[in-house]
Amino acid sequence: MVDFKLYTITGEQFHEGRDLKHVMEEAIHGGSDIIQLREKKGSKREVLKKARMLRELTKKYNVPLIVNDHIDIALAVDADGIHLGQDDLPLEEARKIIGPNKIIGISTHSIEEAREAEKGGADYIGVGPIFPTNSKDDVVDPVTTSYIKEVMNEITIPFVAIGGIKLHNVDEVLEAGATRICAISEIVGSEDIKGTCEEFLVKINRSKESANA
Ligand code: TZP
Ligand code: MG
């Protein structure tokens, strides 16, 4: 079973000229324990090139690599899995293509979507956007932390909270019950990427300890 605490997704519009490899390597050095290549603009070949580079990087550190949208590219570079949204290839079809051993993550915005993903054999779900975000086009309204509570009560597969999560508001997300956090802009747009990841992890770990106390 896949498990992780801090999920970093690429978002080159926030890199401010910094190289993709450098940015993601800093996130890994800061403790990010799963990486997603999310590339909405490039040609297949450009995305493939980035996926190859990130595969090499994540292998070096033994961190799972997930590719957003492109099942063919995920297979071509032997990524650990794919992440799909509600308008992408349905889970059942994706599973047929990618096989039983790869990770499939599904974005969900409602408990109905979460139930469907769980029933269909998703390995984890994204739960969000918790807060408003400018990192995604056509984003739905924030689902707020109340959706986290619904998922906690009912869904047994791992879930990761996403959308507008920053160091200044992550405590609210953790208090609602999330144990896995995903961010784009707060991490890859940070001046100190490694330090930002470390700070997220301090908060995640503190929240886990108090939940277990
Ligand atoms: N899916 C739901 S919200 C979101 C995605 C990809 C964007 C998250 O980016 P940020 O910068 O952490 O708000
Ligand atoms: Mg998608």
pLDDT in tens, 100-133: 999 999 999 999 999 999 999 999 999 999 999 9
Q: Is 205 annotated as a binding residue?
A: no
Q: Is 153 annotated as a binding residue?
A: no
Distance, in Å, from the CA atom of 72 to the CA atom of 172, rounded to the nearest integer, reads 37
pLDDT at site 4: 96
Distance, in Å, from the CA atom of 24 to the CA atom of 144, rounded to the nearest integer, reads 28
pLDDT at site 210: 87
| Residue 198 backbone dihedrals phi, psi, to 5 degrees | -60, -40
Query: 197 pLDDT band (50/70/90 cuts)?
Result: very high
Query: What number does CATH give the domain 6-212?
Result: 3.20.20.70
Ligand nearest to the CA of 7: 1
Q: Where are the domains of the chain?
A: 6-212
Distance separating the N- and C-terminal Cα atoms of the chain: 25
pLDDT at site 85: 97
Residue 213 predicted with pLDDT over 80: no
Distance, in Å, from the CA atom of 196 to the CA atom of 210, rounded to the nearest integer, reads 21
- pLDDT digits over 50-96, tens only? 999 999 999 999 999 999 999 999 999 999 999 999 999 999 999 99
Ligand nearest to the CA of 86: 2
B/e letters for 146-159, b = 16+ CB within 10 Å, e = fewer, are ebbeebeeebebbb
Residue 149 predicted with pLDDT over 80: yes
pLDDT at site 209: 86
pLDDT at site 88: 96
pTM over 0.95: yes
Q: Which residue is closest in CA terms to ligand 1's atom 13? A: 164
Q: Is 207 annotated as a binding residue?
A: no
Pocket test for ligand 1, best of 9, 84, 110, 180 (most atoms within 8 A of CB): 9
Q: Quick check: 102 and 73 in contact, CB under 8 A?
A: no
Residue 1 predicted with pLDDT over 90: no
- pLDDT digits over 17-51, tens only? 899 999 999 999 999 999 999 999 989 999 999 99
